[in-house]
Amino acid sequence: EVQLVESGGGLVQPGGSLRLSCVASGFTFSSHSMNWVRQAPGKGLEWVSYISSGGSTIYYADSVKGRFTMSRDSAKNSLYLQMNSLRDEDTAVYYCARVGTGIRNAMDVWGQGTTVTVSS
Amino acid sequence: EIVLTQSPGTLSLSPGERATLSCRASQSVNSNYLVWYQQKPGQAPRLVIFGASSRATGIPDRFSGSGSGTDFTLTISRLEPEDFAVYYCQHYGSSLFTFGQGTRLEIE
């Protein structure tokens, strides 16, 4: 079964750090680009970051640039999001999502999400 | 930066009716990279349409997408109870992924 499982969410104070992980199974992880997408409580979807299949190309949304770092470890079938200098507005469910093959950069597999709460 | 505006914000319809959801881009976009997702409460989004008009695997043929340039449409021909959800359009371009704010499709 193709699956993505996120972990690492939790409660953190403003200015703090957190590292999210996403473990992939059921497909060749190293062949797919990946994204992190977040959703604040009661709000819509917001793209956070993208990493190419080989890890050499990474993009960030302006809202997280300079604070978040995305990486991957294909030996561990894992995706990471290091989040520093966290703000209240980073509170959200964070999803990892696979960029599908042959479907023009659409995200065809999503994890169940991990919740990050930034609050004092 | 491209902004995607979805309308209406909420659409109230009954099962069996036809739903038409709109996504308008602030400037012309490449339709190859226009996508629609469905999200139900407490669940992750699900890919519905990619390339503006191609159905994703497992999506029933009552779902169709169309459009080009700045105006795109997701149509559900005959609503089933499981179709009531929030729908998001999304575009990829210039190293950015952009989502619309969503249309909530609710049962009337």
Q: What is the DSSP letter of A27?
A: S
Cα–Cα distance for residue pair B107/B84, rounded to 1 Å: 7
Write down the number of H helices and E strands in chain B. Answer: 0, 10
Asked if the C-beta of A23 comes within 8 angstroms of chain B's C-beta atoms, the answer is no
Q: pLDDT by residue for chain A (120 residues), tens digit each?
A: 999 999 999 999 999 999 999 999 999 999 999 999 999 999 999 999 999 999 999 999 999 999 999 999 999 999 999 999 999 999 999 999 999 988 888 999 999 999 999 999
Q: Per residue in B24-65, pLDDT tens? A: 999 999 999 999 999 999 999 999 999 999 999 999 999 999
Nearest by CB to residue A44, choosing from B44, B88, B92, is B88
Average pLDDT over residues B13-25: 98
Contact residues on chain B for A104, CB-CB shorter than 8 A:
32-33, 35, 50-51, 92
Asked if the C-beta of A47 comes within 8 angstroms of chain B's C-beta atoms, the answer is yes
Residue for token pair 């999503």: A110
B92 pairs with which residues across the strands? B97
Asked if the C-beta of A110 comes within 8 angstroms of chain B's C-beta atoms, the answer is yes
- 3-state class (DSSP) for residue B90: strand
Cα–Cα distance for residue pair B77/B18, rounded to 1 Å: 5
Sign of CA dihedral B73, B76, B81, B83: negative
